[in-house]
Amino acid sequence: MKIVALGLRGFPGVMGGVEAHCEQLYASVRAIAPDIEITALARARYVSGNGSDFKEVKVRPIPAITSPYLEAITHTFLGVLYARFSERADVLHVHAIGPGLLVPLAKILGMSVVFTHHGEDYGRCKWNGAAKMALRLGEALAVRFADRVISVSRPIARSLATRDSALSGKLCWIPNGVSVELGRDSKNLAPLDMLRRFGLEQGKFAMTVARLVPEKGIHDLIDAASGLPEGMKLVIVGGAQMRSGYSDSLLARASDRVIFTGELPREAIAPLYENTALFVLASYHEGLPIAALEALSFGARVLLSDIAANKDLDLPPENYFAVGDVVALRTKVGDIPKIRPADAEAILEKYDWRAIARETVLVFRAAAARRSFGDVGVDAAGGLAS
């Protein structure tokens, strides 16, 4: 069986939730189901040359218009044609609701389609009214025409099932995951060297990992950083794929106490997770945050905004603050010992990419066979029903 993935920028080493998801998921699928061939169609500017293989997954570049509003859709259009006529895909795996606009085209061309819903992107601050309407249309078309629909978020799965009861036979919740390999890969680095690179000391910094876009709430976190204990720094890991006034305004606030690292490979972030006093995600919008899962998998203290996607991780109340409430956030970061370290083993067991890959393989095989897939659906609680 041949799977072609579409709707991502590329991997390895490309920052973004969808990208991290695809990098981990497809390598895990290949490991447990070697009969499944996978080609990921990347956006050409994010990968080098003609692409390469990553853990037995083919990564192939497809051109796209470099524009916040046109890049995803032009890449998806060309990718659908490439998947059908060059790759001859058995299943097209489409990620995110923007690319979901072209799921009907994939069906017209005769491909089976699995659609993964990563988040309600029309909630992101960066989009104007027309773009938000297009994203809502993409969501509607994707869930209507795809053969199988995966949601990484239980709240979104519940919302979709509530809006359209006809989806119950083809809709399932399969979360993002976290890999034990991340910890193993980090052992190849000297953790103290990573800390020295940015002038950090063990246990004397808080951190976040996020793209420099408004919905990640980094401006709130910087405002709240004045509440950090004396001598503690704030480390912001991430960059902006496209420069903007917002990202420039954040970078202008860099100081001895607020440190921007830029984008880092995942294995280089691991020593920071291991040695941070606190990981914070101040997001206004998420699907299921992989960065938070990774921090939890290292046993870090974690503080998250109380949006539905973050609450879906089901952490104790002290791990949350009211989204957008800078005063509450400043108070929380000022009293870090009240937040308990995470149970790393429980997180690794609950969000194991190998188990997630097994569930996804079942969805791929069902879509390829174009048969009813009644054994996995969304129950009333939004979880996996058996």
Closest by Cα among 370, 363, 373 to 117: 363
Confidence of residue 185 (pLDDT cuts 50, 70, 90): low
The residue that leads in pLDDT, 226 or 125, is: 226
Provide, rounded to the nearest whole percent, the portion of the chain with pLDDT above 70: 93
**Could you tell me whether strands 377-378 and 57-62 are parallel, antiparallel, or unpaired per DSSP bridges?**
unpaired
| pLDDT (0 to 100) of residue 192 | 75
Span 334-349, mean pLDDT? Answer: 95
Per the prediction, the chain carries an average pLDDT of 90
In the structure, what pLDDT confidence band is assigned to residue 380 with cuts at 50, 70 and 90? Answer: very low
pLDDT at 193: 84
Sequence-ordered alpha helix ranges (H) in 230-265 = 245-251
Residue 383 pLDDT exceeds 70:
no
pLDDT for 376 beyond 60: no
Please check the confidence at residue 371 and state whether its pLDDT lies above 70.
no
Whole-number pLDDT of residue 355: 95
Whether the CB-CB separation of 107 and 145 falls below 8 Å is answered with yes
Q: What is the pLDDT of residue 52?
A: 79
DSSP 383: S
* Residue 220 burial by Cβ neighbours in a 10 Å radius (0-12, 13-18, 19+): buried
Read off the pLDDT band of 248 (50, 70, 90): very high
pLDDT of residue 349: 93
* pLDDT-based confidence at residue 190 (cuts at 50, 70, 90): low
pLDDT at 265 over 90: no
- The listed range with the strongest mean pLDDT (61-65, 140-144, 186-190) is 140-144
- List, in sequence order, every residue forming a beta bridge with 219; answer none if it has no partner: none
Average pLDDT over residues 108-132: 89
pTM of the predicted protein model? 0.88
Q: Which of 46-50, 289-293, 302-306 has the lowest mean pLDDT?
A: 46-50
CATH architecture type of domain 2-177+352-385: 3-Layer(aba) Sandwich (3.40)
Domain extent listing, the chain? 2-177+352-385, 180-348
Confidence of residue 357 (pLDDT cuts 50, 70, 90): very high
Q: Which candidate, 234, 319, 228, 224, places its Cα nearest to that of 276?
A: 234
CATH number of 180-348: 3.40.50.2000
The DSSP string of 76-115 is HHHHHHHIIIII--SEEEEESTTGGGGHHHHHHTT-EEEE
Identify the pLDDT of residue 262: 94
Average pLDDT rounded to a whole number, residues 206-223: 96
- CB crowding 70-97: b at 16 or more within 10 Å, else e: ebbbbbbbebbebbbeebebbbbbbbbb
Fold matches, 2-177+352-385 and 180-348: yes
For residue 287, pLDDT over 80 is answered with yes
Please compute the mean of the pLDDT values over residues 116-138 and round it to a whole number: 88
Integer Cα distance of 79 and 85 in angstroms: 10
For Cα atoms 121, 122, 123, give the angle at the middle one, nearest 5 degrees. 85
Q: What is the mean pLDDT of residues 32-40?
A: 97
CA–CA distance, 77 with 165 (Å, rounded to integer): 29
